[in-house]
Structure 1
Amino acid sequence: MNKKLKNLFFLVLSIITFINCGTNRLFMKQDSSFTENFNNQETFKKNWKDNSWKSPALYQLENEHLKITTRPNTKDRVKIRSKQKFTTGTYSWRIFVPKFKMHEQVSIGAFLYHNQKEEFEFDFEIGSGQKIDREQINLKDNEAIVFCVSQFSPSNSSHFAVKMEEYATFKMELIDVNGFYLVKWFINNNLVKTLQTNVKSNTKFKVHCSLENLHFMGDLPTSTENNVLFDAFQYQERLE
């Protein structure tokens, strides 16, 4: 191969490599985010799985929302989970918070769960709440209680307020700090809690959306059917 042809060959090879690298970066960028608008049944079935616990799968897509229902006087725990797993990044749920009956035992869950060799969980739990918890943070009658929780490593819980009968955004940010997750909880883009955990930052989580009749979220059993509407979920990978 003469010198001119050799130079031309390497020039073409460099261009191809550059294009391929650019394409790979583009695909990586696309793979680094995940959005669910709950408006397409086929996409929903592809990306989500029933995870209800000892209760019927009482959920459906309706008017571009995920509607989840629990029955009165039951221990229904209706949940879906993502088929995909995620690590560091930002997780956002947009939810229409209904008007809960005061002190009844029902809770909206927007949370991350890992249960392989070890068990880890980061939560938003939203409901009316027990009387003692509501009084502790002086909730108004039109406000629900929001528990921001790390279930393990360490176990830690704090509670805050959110308006009922309005849309609200619940966001978690998982950040790698020296190989472990630093977790931040946001309500309507307001940072409400920060916690350094002992959970390794390569731990992968599945995303959950739920409505559950949980005894610790109220003083009274549910007396009516309850519903919640999830409007959207989004994950965005944290690029260091």
Structure 2
Amino acid sequence: MKNNYFKAAAFALTMLLFSCSTQDLTDESQDPSTTTNSSTTKMSKMAPTKPTAPKIWEFNDLNEWEDATQVGNPNYFIDTNNGYLHLFTNANTWDRTKVKSVATYATGSYSWRVYVPTMGVGDMASIGAFLYNNDTHELDFEIGYGNRAIRQQLNAASDELIVYNTSQANPYHSFQSKIKREQWYTLTIELALNSKKKYVTTWKIDNVVLSSATLTYGTATKFKIFCSVENLTFIGDHIPYTQNYALFDWVEFK
């Protein structure tokens, strides 16, 4: 009986060891693609997110934009045949026609696709593509005929206009150059951060760098995006004698 008992015990122990060995082999041979563990979960959570798609306004309508006109009537409309935003100012006025984005933005690249027409000779009229928070936190493209002094300084030809790249303050920065009239341009303002978390802004036309400046502030200051045509005294020699306009095909933020 004892022999039978020991034989039965030995058999049971052998079967138990075989079962454990088989289980080990099964675990080790699992397809790793079907195995979820803490390491895989952690790597999944750390995976980089896809970059945000650019925000683009095609100006088939004015959704997400609002009126910002300061002087005169809101002189703008959507050219539904072409999908342009058409802005203008009237002769012998100080019209300041503007639209602005409803939302505010910070670091990134801002671009405006703008048609720059012939502008009245000597007219104090400006095409604006700019970012605005307040009067001391403003970054501009401003395009106009230019006064006599700046045209002489830059040796501007009769078919050229003057473009200003400006930070209105913090610090003040202004750079002037020439562009041909009656052409489409992509105007870009890029906002990045330096090691001190301050904005570095770069002005480009058709991806060519014109100017740059390091600002004294950072992302606590956010901007609305503006499109404008304004009659402004600094950019010509006299009150506009003609109606001046600009076309905006699209605006992009990315």
The bucket for the TM-score relative to the shorter chain is 0.7 to 0.9
Shift of 1:233: 0.8
CA-based RMSD of the aligned residues comes to: 2.6
User: Is 1:168 equivalent to 2:185 in the alignment?
Assistant: yes
Q: What amino acid sits opposite 1:25 in the alignment?
A: T
User: Is 1:188 equivalent to 2:212 in the alignment?
Assistant: no
Three-state SS of the structure 1 residue aligned to 2:201 is strand
Distance in 1 of aligned mates of 2:58 and 2:41: 37
Which of residues 71, 74, 92 is equivalent to 2:93? 74
Deviations 1:168-222 (A, max 9, x none): 1111111101211111111221111011111223321110000001111100111
Q: What amino acid sits opposite 1:195 in the alignment?
A: A
Deviations 1:103-148 (A, max 9, x none): 1110000000013xx8400000000010101111111111110000
Three-state SS of the structure 2 residue aligned to 1:84 is coil
Three-state SS of the structure 1 residue aligned to 2:204 is strand
Deviations 1:7-38 (A, max 9, x none): xxx9399999998998x935x623xx310111
Distance in 2 of aligned mates of 1:99 and 1:125: 15
What TM-score do you get using the length of structure 1 for normalisation? 0.84
Distance in 2 of aligned mates of 1:152 and 1:221: 26
Q: Which segments of structure 1 move beyond 6 Å, counting only runs of 4 or more?
A: 12-22
Distance in 2 of aligned mates of 1:201 and 1:19: 30
Higher strand share: 1
Q: What amino acid sits opposite 1:235 in the alignment?
A: F
In structure 2, runs of 5+ residues without a counterpart are: 1-26, 28-34
Which of residues 56, 60, 82 is equivalent to 2:73? 56
Larger Rg: 2
What TM-score do you get using the length of structure 2 for normalisation? 0.79
**Other-structure match for 1:154:** 171
**Other-structure match for 1:7:** none
Q: What amino acid sits opposite 1:160 in the alignment?
A: S
**Other-structure match for 1:29:** 52
Among all aligned residue pairs of Structure 1 and Structure 2, give the percentage whose two residues are the same amino acid.
Answer: 34
Distance in 1 of aligned mates of 2:245 and 2:212: 30
**Other-structure match for 1:85:** 104
Distance in 2 of aligned mates of 1:169 and 1:142: 19
Deviations 1:140-160 (A, max 9, x none): 111110000000101111101
Distance in 2 of aligned mates of 1:20 and 1:52: 47
Three-state SS of the structure 2 residue aligned to 1:211 is strand
In structure 1, runs of 5+ residues without a counterpart are: 5-9
